[in-house]
Amino acid sequence: MLRMVRLTLTEDVEAVVLIVRTVHLSQRPAQTSQCRQTDSDFIPLNEERLQRFQKALGFESVSRDSGDSNTDEIFKFGEFIIASFPHIHRHSPLVTWERVNNLSLLYHIQGNDPSLKPYLLMAHIDVVPVTNLDQWDAPPFSGEVKDGFIYGRGTIDDKNNVMGILEATEFMLSSNIKPKRSFYISFGHDEETRGNAGASQVANLLRQKGVKEVEFIVDEGMTVLEGIIDGVAGPVASVGVTEKGIVLLNLSVELPPGHSSMPPRETAIGILARAVLRLEENPHPSMLGAGVETDMFESLVPKMSYLQRVVISNIWLFRYPLSWLLSRKPSTNAVIRTVTAVTIFNSGVKFNMIPPLAEAKVNHRVHPSQTIQEVVDYDRAVINDPRVKIEVVYSMEPHPVAGHGESDFGYQVLRTSVRQIWPEAVVVPAIMVGNTDTFNFLNFSTNVYRFSPTHMFPGDPERFHGINERMSVKNYEQVINFFYHLIRNADQAGLSPVHSAHPDL
Ligand SMILES: CCCCCCCC/C=C\CCCCCCCC(=O)N[C@@H](Cc1c[nH]c2ccccc12)C(=O)O
Ligand SMILES: [Zn+2]
Ligand SMILES: [Zn+2]
């Protein structure tokens, strides 16, 4: 089959690269052959690389809570990384690396053009705990391959990105390819518990080293979505150009205890349960039409039917029906509003005692068009009961919006790299619905992107922190090659969009 792929940092129609290849795709389904031109352009997922990923998945590098993690396993995973990538850790004079706070890792890869500002790639080596073990199709720390999928905690969050970045860098160094632009790699060890001992310490160390600014940052984030946005066919690479804020609330009701044989009309449990129900029944308003999600839907227009185009081009008119449609799925609902999750509910001392205290934790992810204060005020009004005390336990405002236009170099590097792996994909700016380690690095760059090259289909978003976390073997090969292309594409000088793609691509 003759395949032609045209790619550019500017517009598809003005493509710079023309790759003409004869490939029998039917015989080579597991390869990202679209982007392959010469041996140095493509990293095949051979047995050795696959086994390395499987071994990485074997470490139970679990973070449960701040200060409560499997530090032994996290350390051993670090040792495994150091032993497995010899060019990065021993042979190459271009690399300096160090452990940070014993468990995190920081790398600097020296480029040969000091006039180019370095960039930063991030990922994390810890994982969340496993639940519902009996419902997994393969053991969660086995890395077992079943029906073309690699199973395990960390396959999509976030050992895929850790190992993909390392494989790409190792390949580049072992092939004697020297980058022009320097880059840093940061692997935090406690992202799942907010990154205070890991990424935050890496950021401090970088500051101590005199690093003030990087060109752009890429961390885990939104993904390549297929069949997930209703009515949009084909892959959509959603790049988180901003990140939701977060506010954790403690709701509490205190009432005098007593004997259960003479109960008051209302108990602390009943009052708190009603408050929580009111929050669930009165979601925060849809912010559709106010921010990045509008840019996202407008960028999807090329993938839409005529009718959909009419709707998306007039979001101001169709805001309500569109919001209703998007609210039906948790994944799309998360993009258009501040969401509310009641995650902990505690009360009761003894079966025949009226409880003196009921407490609930509410976890809001705050839409970038709202502030923490607005969210708390809204909750107070909805609960409308002075007996329910509302305390802010932790909060972080939504992140600033990174540039996502034609002249935003980091975004265009990402866009080009995505299109080299998924030529049919549309790349759209999006809101990162979960939180990442990037808040520690916001002072280093305004160009912060949250993107994971994970190809997701309906049912896959639930695998994040869920049951049967997995990635197809083919997708893992795409992950490695995505990072490899990104590193090569970032070697184009300057910020102007008028650059040709890397000559080898
Ligand atoms: C129309 C578009 C549809 C969108 C569909 C979305 C599909 C799913 C794609 C991506 C989802 C990404 C969500 C995963 C979040 C990964 C990061 C994570 O798990 N973070 C944790 C822990 C955390 C990290 N930093 C902080 C800071 C403060 C609190 C918690 C954390 C988390 O978010 O809880
Ligand atoms: Zn993660
Ligand atoms: Zn996570």
Per-residue pLDDT reduced to its tens digit, 447-495: 999 999 999 999 999 999 999 999 999 999 999 999 999 999 999 854 3
Is residue 121 within 8 A of residue 483, CB to CB? The reply is yes
Q: With bands split at pLDDT 50, 70 and 90, how would you rate the model's confidence at 67?
A: confident
Q: Which atom of ligand 1 is nearest to the CA of 430?
A: 2
CA of 28 to the centre of ligand 2 (A): 31
CATH of segment(s) 47-222+434-489: 3.40.630.10
What number is the average pLDDT over the span 361-382?
A: 98
Does the Cβ of 126 fall within 6 Å of ligand 1?
A: no
CA distances from 37 to 19, 269, 355, 453 (A): 7, 65, 70, 21
Residue 132, Cβ neighbours under 10 Å: how many? 10
Is the domain covering 244-396 a CATH 3.30.930.10 domain?
no
**Catalytic pick among 73, 167, 170, 191:** 191
129 alpha carbon, closest ligand = 3
Q: Are 97 and 107 in contact (CB under 8 A)?
A: yes
| pLDDT for 6 | 30
Q: What's the rounded Cα separation, in Å, for the pair 434 and 9? A: 28
φ, ψ of residue 262 in degrees (nearest 5): -130, 65
Q: What secondary structure letter does DSSP report for 426?
A: E
Taking the C-alpha atoms of residue 475 and residue 164, their distance in angstroms, rounded to an integer, is 11
152 lines ligand 1 (CB under 6 A): no
Six-digit token pair at 6?
């045209």
pLDDT digits (tens, 9 = 90+) for 216-267: 999 999 999 999 988 888 999 999 999 999 999 999 999 999 999 999 999 9
The pLDDT of residue 3 is above 60: no
Phi (first) and psi of residue 267, to 5 degrees: -110, 165
- Residue 182 vs residue 31, higher pLDDT: 182
pLDDT of residue 38: 58
Q: Which ligand is nearest to the CA of 161?
A: 2
Catalytic, 14? Answer no
Listed by start position, the domains of the chain span 47-222+434-489, 244-396
Domains 47-222+434-489 and 244-396 share a fold: no
Counting atoms of ligand 1 from 1, which one is nearest the CA of 465? Answer: 19
Q: How do residues 140-157 score in pLDDT, each as one tens digit?
A: 999 999 999 999 999 999
What pLDDT is recorded for position 233? 87
421 Cα to the center of ligand 2, angstroms: 22
Which stretches does DSSP call E strand in 226-356?
236-243, 245-254, 258-259, 339-347, 353-354
Buried/exposed code over 235-260 (b: 16+ C-beta within 10 A; e: otherwise): bbbbbbbbbbbbbbbebbbebeeeee
pLDDT at residue 10 is higher than 50: no
**Residue 8 Cβ contacting ligand 1 at under 6 Å:** no
Q: And the tokens for 324?
A: 């209703």
The pTM assigned to this predicted structure is 0.89
What are the backbone dihedrals phi and psi of residue 391, each rounded to the nearest 5 degrees, phi first? -120, 140
Question: What is the CA(451)–ligand 3 centre distance, in A?
Answer: 13
Task: Find out whether the beta carbon of 433 lies less than 6 Å from any atom of ligand 1.
Answer: yes
**Catalytic: 254?**
no
